[in-house]
Amino acid sequence: MTTLQRVWRLKNTILNLVASRCSSCGYITYPPKMRCPVCGSRELREEALPREGEVLSYTVIQVPAKGFEDFTPIIIALVRLGDAKVLSEVVDIKPENMSVGMRVVATVRRSAETIDGGVPYVVKFKPLKL
Amino acid sequence: MRKVYVAGVGMVKVGKHVDKSLRDLAGEAALKALEEAGNETPEAIVVGNMLSSLVEQENLASLIGDHIGLRGACGFKVEGACGSGGAALMTGYSLVASGLFSKVLVVGVEKLFERPSNDVIRGLAYAADADYELIYGITFSGLNALLMRYYMNKYGVKYEELAYWSVLMHKNGYKNPYAQLRNEITLEDVLKSPVIADPIRLYDSCPLSDGASAALLVSEDLRKATDTPVSIAGVSNSIDSVDLSSRLELDHLLASRVSAENALRIAKVSLREVDIAEIHDAYTITAALSIESIGFVEKGKAPKAWSEGRFSPGDKPSLNLSGGLKSRGHPVGATGVYQLAEVVMQLRGDFPGVSVPAEVGLTQNIGGAGSNITTIILRR
Ligand SMILES: [Zn+2]
């Protein structure tokens, strides 16, 4: 179970979707790393990902982990944002309307309560309405 | 490096052991392995385990070592999520191969049925990235479901083709006295089982399990004393990202390929020589990814292959004669040691379930969603 302090520490990467881009080979990773997983370079720079993207894969969790009972069924997707991928929850949609390839946009929503009683806000995704 | 032999193995039946504690399970498997090896006293004990903190117990090597009379021996726990057993075997192998010790006991143990299942499901998700995945409520089944849908979509593989793996595994596990789920099932049973994390259903998944398995690893000079024909010809472990987000490929397990290639190279064995293998089928998709990443078939082809009878008992390689994680069960940190014990028994010709004649065996134990993988080559 997470804590307020832990979520606070992650506020920049999670809320602004900050990835790390390798200055040597160009590989981009989210979550950010300290050394490039492809070429080993330590010359990485922070880069905010686009907030719109496409669902690469998704699941609908029916049997939750402790602490997420109120959110179940939980739709979790791997979303392609520019050159990177981000895993998060998809909201404002019924599970049966989900599809691979659908366009989604980042939105700030509440997450499950921390063990010290805080209500953290994180980035989730919702369907992009054109 | 010195050659390393498996002098004895011991397993406890996988299942729900309300009447046995973590130390009882580990001790029972350990003493069986030592008994098989002529009651040699090991100089070191390496424990593979992932989640003993769930039962408020760490310091496992000391706890289990003392329980079986090994005060003064070397000991520690090795952790690599669901791949802890394989990682512990690699560590034990290294202690013998290096010449540091001549007799090393490796014990894999897991005790899940001490806590309510939602606690256990949360605990298993500790193998995921807590900051960037678990915070959204992902489960271990959920991560594998993401891989499964991606795979089905990319290769046009039907759910039923993947699900058929479970039917095959129950057919093998039905005859394994150490297996947890000893019942034959039909494809319809899988299709009618409840959804856990769409597209994964209950019967696509391994069960929750308690269990322990052990092996005594010895050097060449002790081989005759213990009269064993089976050696560890090669072993390798490899890591990948914990998070799925930054993986280079979602339809290929890098750590599976790298550890398999290295283990085969060390063993001087080609993949075509492998007679039998125990692979890590936590979910049907894990079976497909493992089979393809090792290189038994091309990407996207495993479900079609097993649906057409490939990998069944007698084929080369025959896969998961034990019933695999699906039917034998998956006592998380013990699973890698079960796989080794099963293949050792197959090579010796005394496995008490479905068995085939074999000279070369392979085991692959997977931690996380492919992030910590050990491959072992055994030879008689
Ligand atoms: Zn790079």
- Taking the centre of ligand 1 as the mean of its atom positions, its distance from the CA of residue A26, in whole angstroms, is 6
pLDDT class of B64 with cuts at 50, 70, 90: very high
Instruction: Give me B23's structure tokens.
Output: 């130390």
Q: Rounded to an integer, what distance in angstroms lies between the CA atom of residue B276 and that of residue A37?
A: 34
Is A60 close to B125, i.e. CB distance below 8 A?
A: no
Pairing type for strands B4-11 and A121-127 reads unpaired
Q: Is the pLDDT of residue B303 over 90?
A: yes
pLDDT of residue B226: 75
pLDDT of residue A66: 87
pLDDT of residue B223: 82
Chain A residues touching residue B133 (CB < 8 angstroms): 87
Q: Is the pLDDT of residue A67 over 90?
A: no
pLDDT over 70 for what percent of chain B? 100
Q: How many CA atoms lie within 13 A of B110 on its CB side?
A: 32
Q: Rounded to an integer, what distance in angstroms lies between the CA atom of residue B361 and that of residue B55?
A: 34
SS (H, E, C) B227-254: CCCCEEEEEEEEECCCCCCCCCCCCCCH
pLDDT class of B224 with cuts at 50, 70, 90: confident
Whether the upstream peptide bond of residue B313 has omega within 30° of 0, thus cis, is: no
Instruction: Give me B133's structure tokens.
Output: 């995945």
Cα-based distances in Å from B63 to B32, B228, B377: 18, 29, 30
Asked if the domains at B4-116+209-230 and B123-207+233-379 fall in one CATH topology, the answer is yes
Yes or no: say if B358 and B275 are a contact pair by the CB < 8 Å rule. yes
pLDDT of residue A12: 94
Yes or no: say if A17 and A48 are a contact pair by the CB < 8 Å rule. yes
pLDDT tens figures, B95-138: 999 999 999 999 999 999 999 998 999 999 999 999 999 999 99
Instruction: Give me B59's structure tokens.
Output: 């310091």
CATH architecture classification, B4-116+209-230: 3-Layer(aba) Sandwich (3.40)
Q: Which of B122, B131, B245 sits opposite A78 (nearest CB)?
A: B245
The domains of chain B are located at 4-116+209-230, 123-207+233-379
What single-letter DSSP state applies at residue B140? H
ipTM: 0.97
Give me the DSSP letters along B174-196: TT-TT-S------HHHHHHSPEE
pLDDT tens figures, B225-246: 777 899 999 999 999 999 999 9
How much is the pTM?
Answer: 0.97
Residue range B278-283: mean pLDDT, rounded: 98
pLDDT class of B27 with cuts at 50, 70, 90: very high
Q: Rounded to an integer, what distance in angstroms lies between the CA atom of residue B149 and that of residue B156?
A: 10
- Taking the centre of ligand 1 as the mean of its atom positions, its distance from the CA of residue A33, in whole angstroms, is 11
| H/E stretch holding A18 | strand A18-22
Q: Which of A56, A64, A78 sits opposite B137 (nearest CB)?
A: A64
CATH architecture classification, B123-207+233-379: 3-Layer(aba) Sandwich (3.40)
